[in-house]
Amino acid sequence: MNNQPPMLTIVVPCYNEEAALPETITQLTSLMKELCQKKLIGKNSNILFVDDGSQDRTWSLIAMESVRNKFVTGIKLARNVGHQKALLAGYLKAREKCDCAISIDADLQDDITVIEEFIENYHKGYEIVYGVRNRRDTDTFFKRTTALSFYRLMEKLGIELVYNHADFRLLSKRALDEMARYSENNLFLRGIFPLLGFRSTKVFYDRKERVAGETKYPLKKMLSFALDGITSFSIVPIRYITFLGFFLFIISLIIGTLNVFHFPIVSVNPTMISLWLIGALQLIAIGTVGEYIGKIFIEVKARPKFAVEIDLYTGSMVERNHEHIRDNLLFEYKK
């Protein structure tokens, strides 16, 4: 077992961030130096900028900086693929070398001073550390309310999310490896990490204003992101169609029966009733077909069904190299 401090890679997706990058590079670099000095991270740690097909000087800034700054490195994607896929590209690249990775936006809206706490939690044995916003003061009223209703809806649909957590998180190599087994195309990363089920914890921070530049998430992208989140994790909307069909079916049956016996309170034109009945039956039919499509949707994803946390069979139990973590875990699981 070696007790070297872990190699950290900070993954930063960037799309047209030339305005924010210089400041981001300065701040992250001095943070890296500090963490190295405190021996919390290895000297080979680095910051991986992912240029998501920017049209401005983003890539030349990254490339230039990588020559004179040993912490800075980058990859350039061939075209703009969007934040989630750019982030995934960064994670998968980081996985090749690092012991743990932290993702953060290029605009420094997330408080980088809590990164030290992330690392401390990693040293304590946590595989995933979620950065969670305390308040949303810097967001507009609109963004706050839409975000809140989004979390509520997701909860109702049975999708587990960490409340007020975006994409500021630490992942151990093992969490990255497990994530990599999710081969789906329709990516909603923050829905996947709670599914992995490793030991995880939260660190709270206040979200700030962008250092520079403007948001790359206009309303249209935000809506389509939310819709992706729902439809890539849940088939509940389909089920609601079936329920609606049954509901209408029963209502029209009741009204139809009352009508037949000439109950004075309801007197509806029979044609109307048959219209409702047929509408209801159609909804049930669509819902039923939807159920099967839903099953196909789940199967096509071919998601991994489990993640092994401890393997006493082959003995390669915890890949992480700190002995005390392993002993702690063993103790906990043998209890």
Contact residues toward Mg ion (CB under 5 A) are: 105, 107, 109
Pairwise CA distance, residues 307 & 252, whole Å: 49
Close Cβ partners of 29 (under 8 Å, ≥ 6 residues apart):
47, 69, 71, 72
φ and ψ of 317, to 5 deg: -75, -65
**If you count them, how many residues does the chain have?**
335
Q: Of residues 62-81, which lie at the interface with ligand UDP (CB under 6 A)?
A: 80
By CB under 6 A, residue 178 contacts ligand UDP: no
CB of 13 to ligand UDP, least distance (A): 4
Asked if residue 182 lies in contact with residue 192, where contact means CB atoms within 8 angstroms, the answer is: yes
Based on CB atoms, which residue is closest to ligand UDP, 17 or 65? 17
**x/- binding map, residues 35-54, to ligand UDP, per CB under 6 A?**
-----------------x--
User: How many chain residues are in contact with ligand UDP, going by CB under 6 A?
Assistant: 16
How far is the C-alpha of 87 from the C-alpha of 51, rounded, in Å? 10
CB atoms within 10 A of CB 106: 28
- The kind and range of the H/E element at 328 are helix 323-334
Work out which of 10, 17, 72, 165 binds ligand UDP, going by CB under 6 A. 17
Piece in contact with ligand UDP (CB under 6 A), picked from 12-20, 191-199, 238-246, 312-320 = 12-20
User: Of these, 7, 8, 10, 14, which contacts ligand UDP (CB under 6 A)?
Assistant: 14
- Taking a C-beta distance cutoff of 8 angstroms, is the pair 146, 220 a contact? no
Binders of ligand UDP in range 193-232 (CB under 6 A):
215-217
- 86 forms part of the interface with ligand UDP (CB under 6 A): yes
Task: State the Cα–Cα distance between residues 241 and 285, nearest whole angstrom.
Answer: 9
Residue-by-residue DSSP string for 24-69: HHHHHHHHHHHHHHTTSS-TT-EEEEEE-S-SSSHHHHHHHHHHH-
**Which residue's CB is nearer to ligand UDP, number 98 or number 189?**
189
Instruction: Report the partner that residue 217 touches, choosing among Mg ion, ligand UDP, none (CB closer than 5 to 8 A by kind).
Output: ligand UDP
Residue 127 binds which of Mg ion, ligand UDP, none (CB < 5-8 A, kind-dependent): none
Displacement of CA 254 from its chain's centroid (Å):
46
Nearer to ligand UDP, 65 or 105 (CB): 105
Write the binding mask 272 to 311 for ligand UDP: x where contact by CB under 6 A, - elsewhere.
----------------------------------------
Contact residues toward ligand UDP (CB under 6 A) are 13-15, 17, 52, 80, 82-83, 86, 105-107, 109, 215-217
